[in-house]
Amino acid sequence: MSEHNLNFMPTEGFRARAKDVVENPFLRQSFRGAMDFLITKRAAQFPSPEELETLRTLGEQIRQYNLGKLPALLLQLEENLTRNGIQVHWAETPDEANAIILGICKAHSAKLMVKGKSMVSEEIELNHACEAAGIDAMESDMGEYIVQLAGEKPSHIIMPAIHKTKEEIARLFNEKVPGVDYTDNVDELIQIGRRVLREKFLVADIGLSGVNMAVAETGTLCLVENEGNGRLSTTAPPVHIAITGIEKVVEKLAHVPPLLSLLTRSATGQNISTYFNMISGPRKPGEKDGPTEVHLVLLDNGRTQAYADEQLRKTLQCIRCGACMNHCPVYTRIGGHAYGTTYPGPIGKIISPHLLGLEATANMASASSMCGACGEVCPVKIPIPELLMRLREESYSAPHANPAMRGQGAGYSRLVTSIWRGWAAVYRSPALYGAVTWLGSRFRWLMPAKQGGWTSVRVPLKPAPKRLRDMLRERG
Amino acid sequence: MNLAESAAPRPTDVYFFATCVVDQFFPGAGMDAITLLEREGIRVHFPDEQTCCGQPAFTSGFRDEARKVAALQLSLFPNNWPVVVPSGSCAGMMKHHYPTLFEADPVRSAQAVALSARIFEFTEFLVHVLGYQPEDKGADCTVVLHTSCSARREMGVHLTGRTLLGSLNGVTVAQQDHESECCGFGGIFSVKQPEISGAMVEDKLKSLKATGAERVVSADCGCLMNILGHAAWKDEQDGRKTPSLPGEHIASFLLRRTAK
């Protein structure tokens, strides 16, 4: 199966991929260490639970306010961006987005594109599209660069190469970057990457970036980053193309600081990122630098489906900080690649069904113990566990007319449904419950020694010889 | 709110909702919780028709089935007495999810909201309603406390278990690493994703054992079933005849420590 196809049946093979990681003590230890590090850094940024709670409520309100008037804000954004000289493009599907971007590249006879970090570009698999069109698309974020060199995909939305050790990166650079000797000194590795990339920035025809927030009232694109590669990608090449999901728009400039603060503190435990770029248009007459053309591609790709449903709309509140992954005991055990989707972890589980349909993601929602850690840390209070339960319902219920989601009923099984119906029939009837549990306690020795997944690491479950109700009756 | 410190009268009667796990798998924990409440002078009523809060179906995405089972429980507590639940997970279901589960049904919705206010997790009830001050009569020992995710995040009662253990003079409460992390139970999750769930409970047991505590206590039998089930399996693998980490419900531990 090619990497490209992986995205169309992500849950196929999920368990096998998860098992591979779980059974690799080295990887287990490495993920645990990395997540512990991020958890500790975030915690240090929020010493006061009260302040955190106030900020999260504010973040939630800002996101909900803006989603509440999203259609109008998108039009306002388009109007103000256009006035600022930024060309706005609308894409409903990944194919449309790729076609728009390749069209711009073609108009400029582009051969080389440098890319700042953009998860939406991963979502549309832009690198594949560029490769097919003969355009060299080069990642300039250090993590993305490493992942690209290795021919892999990001395993985390903020730290794409978190699954790699410095020794692996050292071997990779030694193998793939011409003229580089093996070194596992992190500073040296970063300098090697920088040297390679610096040359590319100067000769690239196109700079591509994501967008963290798009401000409607001013027509400004905001970009958060730490390496300066975002600034270079958006200023050095003659053409800058930004791509983002339609949910990233905020009405007012005043909405930016609280979201920015929540984002950097939640994501990397930084008070503020090293760079924060505000892009308001191409180079103006008389200016000496900056791109001569700036484009924004606004991508839907299933977001309007989530938007149409009051509960599912909360999925779109996400500001992509990745804190839910860092705190997720499942993500910590299996890492990002096991999920098979562009967005892994808890946020991936709730957003991927909208992007790919429930057919492709039917069983993803089951990979959660519902511990609630994701919802607890989410800086904009997305009720992730509640949404996971909703997705389970959408997936397992019998297919019906006018579903809220593409692929509704994809996980439907007549057998499973009748088991739950049988369960409900017993547990809603005191008499049946009494009879079944009485039998269970009397014939406890009949319980099988192998009980599916349960007994793979646990002793079999066996009811007690007497139920609590029997003990109470005997006591009188 | 700490009712014990407020003007609210101390209840004379409570309902006890055992949960299906306690009724069938940990009846001793239920008996001990009831005995402890009675020893505090409270009449404990156990509606015999009770079954399950409905959570297994609810979290699995089978809301209609969950609603049918929940509707039965909703009808079992007619008097205005507190309902004490020896599980943060099931208490969380009844307190926080019943109101939304019945929102389309005006009559049951009102009942669910009214019931919600009367639901108390066992340790929460002891600390915040009774102001229970256990008098420790046991020998010195070290225990480790595991708090369920629902008790911690849904019920917000992760401190009450610690308060109770902390007031036992002879008991040292050990601190495990990654305390707030899930044990990997998650009901159906443990069967549907056995590899991930297995890895989680494996790590949890290691953390608990690394403290050197003599036993683990918890106010949730779902977690205990998972952790102790894995501990017993591990002991079998290692050829041990005695449990390397015994465990029990906090009610049983408290009752034994305070036995006259």
Domains of chain B: 13-128 (no CATH), 134-257 (3.40.50.11810)
Question: B interface mutation test: which of A371, A386, A421 has the most B CBs within 10 A?
Answer: A371
B256 CB near a chain A CB, below 8 Å? no
Out of A444-453, B19-28, B238-247, least confident range: A444-453
B172-193: pLDDT as tens digits: 999 999 999 999 999 899 999 9
* pLDDT at residue A4 tops 50: no
The 8-class DSSP code of residue A253 comes to G
- Chain A residues with CB under 8 Å of B191 CB are 452-454
Q: How far B245 CA lies from chain A's nearest CA (Å)? A: 14
CB within 8 Å: B202 and A373? no
Q: How far is CA B100 from CA A366, B80, B107, in A?
A: 21, 21, 13
CB within 8 Å: A452 and B191? yes
Q: How confident is the model at residue A476 (pLDDT cuts 50, 70, 90)?
A: confident
Q: How confident is the model at residue B9 (pLDDT cuts 50, 70, 90)?
A: confident
Q: How far B5 CA lies from chain A's nearest CA (Å)? A: 24
- Chain B residues with CB under 8 Å of A366 CB are 188-189, 192-193
Q: Position A32: which residue type?
A: R
Question: B interface mutation test: which of A53, A339, A427 has the most B CBs within 10 A?
Answer: A427
First to last CA, chain B: 31
Which domains, and CATH codes, for chain A?
A: 12-43+305-396 (1.10.1060), 46-301 (3.40.50.10420), 429-475 (no CATH)
Mean pLDDT, rounded, for A65-81: 98
Option in A23, A428, A456 nearest B194 (CB): A456
Measured distance CA(B97)–CA(A152) in Å, rounded: 42
CB within 8 Å: B200 and A369? yes
The closest of A8, A6, A4, A2 to A359, measured between CA atoms, is A8
Q: How far is CA A337 from CA A147, A154, A333, A347, in A?
A: 12, 8, 11, 14
Residue A2, pLDDT score: 35
To the nearest whole percent, how much of chain B has pLDDT over 90?
Answer: 94
Q: How far B164 CA lies from chain A's nearest CA (Å)? A: 24
A83 CB near a chain B CB, below 8 Å? no
Q: How far is CA B137 from CA A400, A424, B75, B164, B222, in A?
A: 62, 44, 40, 14, 28
B143-169: pLDDT as tens digits: 999 999 999 999 999 999 999 999 999
Q: How far A253 CA lies from chain B's nearest CA (Å)? A: 34
Residue A5, pLDDT score: 40
φ/ψ region of B120 (left if φ > 0, alpha if ψ in -120 to 50, else beta) reads beta
- Chain B residues with CB under 8 Å of A329 CB are 181-182, 184, 200
Paired tokens of A350: 């709730």
A266-278: pLDDT as tens digits: 999 999 999 999 9
B204 CB near a chain A CB, below 8 Å? no
ipTM of the complex model: 0.95
Residue A143 burial (CB count, 10 A):
21
CB within 8 Å: A458 and B59? no
Residue A336, pLDDT score: 95
* pLDDT at residue B6 tops 90: no
Q: How far A288 CA lies from chain B's nearest CA (Å)? A: 54
Q: How far B68 CA lies from chain A's nearest CA (Å)? A: 6
0.90 cut: is pTM over it? Answer: yes
Residue B7, pLDDT score: 58
Mean pLDDT, rounded, for A443-463: 94
A364 CB near a chain B CB, below 8 Å? no
Q: At what angle do helices A430-442 and A414-427 cross, to 10 degrees?
A: 100
Mean pLDDT, rounded, for B216-240: 98
Mean pLDDT, rounded, for B94-105: 97
Q: Residue A183 contacts by C-beta under 8 Å, 6 or more apart in sequence?
A: A170, A173, A174, A189, A192
A300-310: pLDDT as tens digits: 999 999 999 99
- Chain A residues with CB under 8 Å of B187 CB are 370
Measured distance CA(B248)–CA(B216) in Å, rounded: 7
Q: At what angle do helices A468-475 and B27-39 cross, to 10 degrees?
A: 40
Residue A8, pLDDT score: 46
* pLDDT at residue B5 tops 70: no
A143-158: pLDDT as tens digits: 999 999 999 999 999 9
Option in B27, B49, B63 nearest A467 (CB): B27
A235-292: pLDDT as tens digits: 999 999 999 999 999 999 999 999 999 999 999 999 999 999 999 999 999 999 999 9
B45-77: pLDDT as tens digits: 999 999 999 999 999 999 999 999 999 999 999
A463 CB near a chain B CB, below 8 Å? yes
